[in-house]
């Protein structure tokens, strides 16, 4: 008798290899739990609903000196104790706040970059607008009102029975594209209308390939293809007559159409197309608006434009500030029932000359005694201890055009701190800069090409010399290469990169910009938060553990979508809609609920993959209630059978009997019931068939 011993699960979730090729100690599923410093799989804590916000009146989540903050454009509503409201009012006093793009503290007060429902962006410090920034891009908007799927229609054609008398020699026969539509021929009845009806009846009685149906209306025969598609379009109708029977108006089949969605066929500004291809209806007004915005952003026109979507509203904005685009007409070309409002008279407006102020940047971070901001290709920095002063009249203020330092830095996305450097992230480049209160001492230290981020909030500092960030290829880390402190990138996320990349492909452009990275403070785990899933890295160098798993966001048993997240006083807070959840509750001890963690091992073969094994028993080291299942077919990951439910370690007690035969076996552990749960190890006893 032999044993497969799973001593630990310190490898964590790994999607790099096939389930039957992955060794023991790894997992092909690790959901709602994480790997401990000892290599055990432990249930996550509960997401506890803590605060209910006034419905629909706030956005965002940030941490200020007094605790959690949320934001809005109107006067402060009644707030739950423990949450502070900060008003961020648009310059026009009316336009609603859409989202907070970036927030950081400077001298205990919040510096915020806000975006409004019209696509405009403004900066605020302690709730007051920072007037060194303006949004001078000309803009216009329209709203998707209706759309859908246009039903498929059959091809149709017709002809008219124009003459004839009753008699066996006065006959008519109908064919389409040489295929007879009925058996034999139809005798004229002596009346054109009844003859038309007889022809229709004959067509309906016959089965042809392709098949057709017919009706009559007075003396006219109306023919339709049985299938609603375009196949019969253009096919000629032929009516063969004999005797004194006559017909007129014989034509071709036309009008057949497959089911097609409503569509925005083109979108022009001042006669210039700003989308490359038509945008089809996406199932809802809001999803269609988002698709239109993405089509604009993915297309380069001259001049170029960008777009945002807020619900069903599409905002079209000039890329550059200025008055030149004011008055340009935005013209949507619609098809198949797509309806927008207004349907005409959409005109770009509110473009402003840059003047003495800057076009609003999108990401702000406090570094040393300054606020640094990314905007287009430039890195801006405020005056020393003057977070609202970005003009060079403020000591230490200025900007660096990174596009003059390296190709590919035309759009800066985010900032991070690395040792005594500032790391500037572009889409596909990373620039490492030494910065000083005196701008003349600023200098570029390093450039790393072909790696960057489009996910500003994914950039997360891990210790003093490590930055985690999300690249299009997966989760990456910027860290010291050697004693020189030169930075290099490492593929810290490679075990889950296939899963992360697949997740990215499922997200809209807006959702991609809102992927969040943070460090969960109680155990120092890195979280990468997507709207419906959290990737968790347990990274403990002392235990030589670098293991991934995933959490499903759910509170009180109900799944929720993640809109924002922050860390305050060693607690993670997550916002979903108008509810703020805490991870593990607000008390000193973590709260656990009836979350069902799940761990599935690879398909294990005891190093003899081609030999059939007779499995006899299984033992488990665990805490809490677990349902133990076994799968024997690595080509069908969903196939498993329950073996037992255990509530404690089974070593030294009656073992779990399991009789089955296969070349491979995978154990699946699913938590059951409320309370804390953990799986530490497992053993599988077996004998190889044909051996004593």
pLDDT value at residue 479: 84
Reported in sequence order, the residue ranges of 177-262 that DSSP labels E, i.e. its strands, are 179-180, 186-187, 212-217, 220-225, 237-241, 246-248, 260-261
Cβ neighbours for 476, distance < 8 A, ≥ 6 positions apart: 451, 468, 469, 470, 489, 490, 491, 492, 493
Residue 406 pLDDT class (50, 70, 90 cuts): confident
What percent of the chain shows pLDDT beyond 90? 90
Ramachandran quadrant class, 142 (left: phi over 0; alpha: psi -120 to 50; beta: rest)? beta
pLDDT value at residue 465: 77
- Whether pLDDT at 483 is above 80: no
pLDDT value at residue 361: 93
Do residues 155 and 342 lie in contact, with contact meaning Cβ atoms separated by under 8 Å? no
Give the domain 152-248 fold: Immunoglobulin-like (2.60.40)
CA distance 315 to 510: 13
How many CB atoms lie under 10 A from the CB of residue 81? 6
pLDDT value at residue 604: 96
pLDDT value at residue 652: 81
Smallest CA-to-CA distance from 534 within 574, 577, 477, 476 is with 574
SS3 16: coil
pLDDT value at residue 313: 97
- Whether pLDDT at 502 is above 90: yes
Q: What is the mean pLDDT of residues 423-429?
A: 94
pLDDT value at residue 491: 87
Reported in sequence order, the residue ranges of 435-576 that DSSP labels E, i.e. its strands, are 443-449, 460-461, 466-471, 474-480, 487-490, 516-520, 525-529, 534-540, 545-551, 554-555, 558-559, 564-568, 571-576
Cβ neighbours for 498, distance < 8 A, ≥ 6 positions apart: 15, 16
Q: Where are the domains of the chain?
A: 2-44+595-688, 140-149+259-347, 152-248, 456-552
Convert the pLDDT of each residue in 93-143 to its tens digit.
Answer: 999 999 999 999 999 999 999 999 999 999 999 999 999 999 999 999 999
Q: What is the mean pLDDT of residues 296-308?
A: 94
Residue 362 pLDDT class (50, 70, 90 cuts): very high
Smallest CA-to-CA distance from 264 within 244, 289, 283 is with 289
* Two tokens, residue 382: 């405020």
Do residues 269 and 328 lie in contact, with contact meaning Cβ atoms separated by under 8 Å? yes
pLDDT value at residue 482: 58
Tokens 């800066």 correspond to 412
Beta bridge partners of 100: 114
Beta bridge partners of 97: 116
Q: What is the mean pLDDT of residues 568-595?
A: 95
Q: What is the mean pLDDT of residues 219-241?
A: 96
What percent of the chain shows pLDDT beyond 70? 99
pLDDT value at residue 414: 96
Q: What is the mean pLDDT of residues 451-462?
A: 94
User: CA gyration radius for the chain?
Assistant: 34
Q: How far is CA 336 from CA 121, 291, 333, in A?
A: 35, 17, 11
- Whether pLDDT at 155 is above 80: yes
Residue 41 pLDDT class (50, 70, 90 cuts): very high
Q: What is the mean pLDDT of residues 573-595?
A: 95
Q: Edge-to-edge strands of the sheet including 339-341?
A: 305-310, 313-318, 139-146, 339-341
Q: What is the mean pLDDT of residues 634-650?
A: 92
Q: What is the mean pLDDT of residues 425-448?
A: 93
Q: The domain at 2-44+595-688 falls in which architecture? A: Sandwich (2.60)
Residue 299 pLDDT class (50, 70, 90 cuts): very high
Do residues 66 and 110 lie in contact, with contact meaning Cβ atoms separated by under 8 Å? no
Q: Edge-to-edge strands of the sheet including 412-418?
A: 412-418, 421-426, 429-434, 443-449
* Two tokens, residue 17: 């290899």
pLDDT value at residue 692: 64
Do residues 427 and 374 lie in contact, with contact meaning Cβ atoms separated by under 8 Å? no
Convert the pLDDT of each residue in 509-524 to its tens digit.
Answer: 888 888 999 999 999 9
How many CB atoms lie under 10 A from the CB of residue 598? 23
pLDDT value at residue 510: 82
Share the mean pLDDT of the chain. Answer: 94
Give the long-range contacts of residues 488-494, CB within 8 A, separation 24 or more: 488/448, 489/430, 489/448, 489/451, 492/468, 492/537, 492/539, 492/546, 493/535, 493/537, 493/548, 494/16
Convert the pLDDT of each residue in 4-21 to its tens digit.
Answer: 999 999 999 999 999 999
């Amino acid at each position: 008798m032999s044993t497969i011993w799973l001593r630990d699960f310190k490898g964590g979730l790994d999607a790099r290899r096939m389930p039957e090729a992955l060794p023991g100690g790894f997992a092909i599923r690790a959901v709602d739990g994480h790997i401990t410093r000892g290599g055990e799989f432990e249930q996550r804590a509960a997401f506890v609903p803590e605060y209910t916000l006034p419905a629909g009146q706030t956005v965002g989540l940030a941490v200020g000196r007094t605790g959690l903050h949320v934001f809005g454009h109107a006067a402060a509503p009644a707030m739950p104790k423990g949450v502070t409201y900060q008003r961020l009012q648009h310059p026009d006093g009316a336009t609603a706040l859409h989202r907070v793009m970036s927030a950081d503290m400077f001298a205990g007060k919040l510096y915020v970059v806000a975006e409004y429902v019209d696509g405009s962006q403004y900066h605020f410090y302690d709730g007051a607008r920072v007037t060194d920034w303006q949004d001078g891009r000309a803009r216009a908007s329209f709203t998707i009102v209706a759309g859908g799927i246009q039903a498929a229609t059959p091809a149709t054609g017709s002809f008219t029975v124009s003459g004839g008398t009753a008699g066996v020699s006065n006959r008519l026969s109908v064919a389409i594209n040489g295929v007879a539509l009925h058996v034999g021929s139809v005798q004229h009845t002596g009346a054109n209308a009844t003859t038309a009806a007889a022809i229709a009846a004959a067509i309906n009685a016959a089965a042809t390939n392709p098949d057709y149906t017919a009706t009559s209306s007075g003396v006219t025969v109306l023919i339709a293809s049985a299938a609603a598609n375009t196949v019969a379009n253009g096919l000629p109708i032929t009516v063969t007559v004999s005797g004194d029977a006559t017909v007129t108006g014989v034509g071709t089949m036309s009008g057949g159409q497959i089911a097609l969605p409503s569509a925005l066929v083109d979108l022009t500004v001042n006669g210039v197309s700003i989308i490359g291809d038509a945008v089809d209806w996406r199932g809802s007004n809001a999803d269609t608006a988002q698709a239109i915005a993405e089509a604009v952003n993915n297309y380069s026109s001259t001049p170029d434009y960008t777009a945002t979507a807020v619900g069903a509203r599409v905002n079209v904005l000039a890329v550059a500030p200025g008055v030149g685009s004011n008055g340009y007409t935005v013209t949507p070309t619609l098809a198949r029932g797509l309806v927008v409002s207004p349907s005409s008279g959409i005109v770009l407006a509110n473009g402003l000359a840059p003047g003495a102020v800057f076009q609003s940047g999108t990401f702000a971070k406090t570094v040393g005694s300054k606020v640094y901001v990314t905007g287009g290709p430039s890195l801006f920095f405020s005056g020393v201890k003057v977070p609202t002063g970005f003009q060079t009249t403020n000591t230490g203020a200025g900007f660096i055009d990174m596009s003059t330092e390296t190709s590919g830095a035309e759009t800066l996305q985010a900032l991070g701190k690395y040792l005594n450097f500032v790391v500037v992230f572009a889409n596909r480049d990373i620039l490492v800069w030494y910065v000083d209160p005196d701008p003349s001492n600023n200098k570029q230290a390093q450039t790393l090409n072909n790696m960057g981020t489009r996910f500003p909030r994914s950039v997360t500092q891990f210790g003093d010399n490590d930055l985690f960030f999300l690249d299009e290829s997966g989760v990456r880390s910027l860290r010291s290469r050697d004693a020189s402190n030169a930075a290099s990138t490492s593929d810290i996320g490679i075990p889950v990169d296939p899963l992360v990349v697949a997740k990215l492909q499922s997200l809209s452009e807006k959702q991609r910009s809102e992927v969040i990275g943070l460090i969960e403070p109680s155990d120092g785990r890195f979280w990468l938060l997507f709207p419906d899933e959290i990737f968790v890295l347990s990274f403990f160098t002392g235990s030589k553990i670098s293991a991934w798993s995933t959490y499903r966001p759910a509170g009180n048993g109900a799944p929720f979508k993640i809109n924002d997240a922050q860390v305050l006083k060693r607690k993670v807070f997550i916002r979903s809609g108008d509810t703020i959840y805490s991870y593990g509750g607000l008390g000193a001890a973590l709260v656990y609920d009836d979350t069902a963690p799940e761990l599935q091992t690879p398909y294990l073969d005891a190093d003899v993959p081609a030999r059939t094994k007779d499995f006899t028993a299984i033992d488990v080291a665990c805490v809490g209630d677990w349902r133990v299942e076994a799968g024997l077919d690595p080509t069908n990951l969903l196939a498993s059978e329950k073996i037992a439910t255990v509530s404690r370690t089974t070593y030294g007690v009656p073992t779990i009997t399991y009789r089955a035969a296969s070349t491979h076996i995978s154990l699946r552990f699913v938590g059951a019931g409320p309370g804390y749960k953990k799986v530490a190890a497992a053993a599988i006893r077996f004998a190889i068939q044909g051996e004593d």
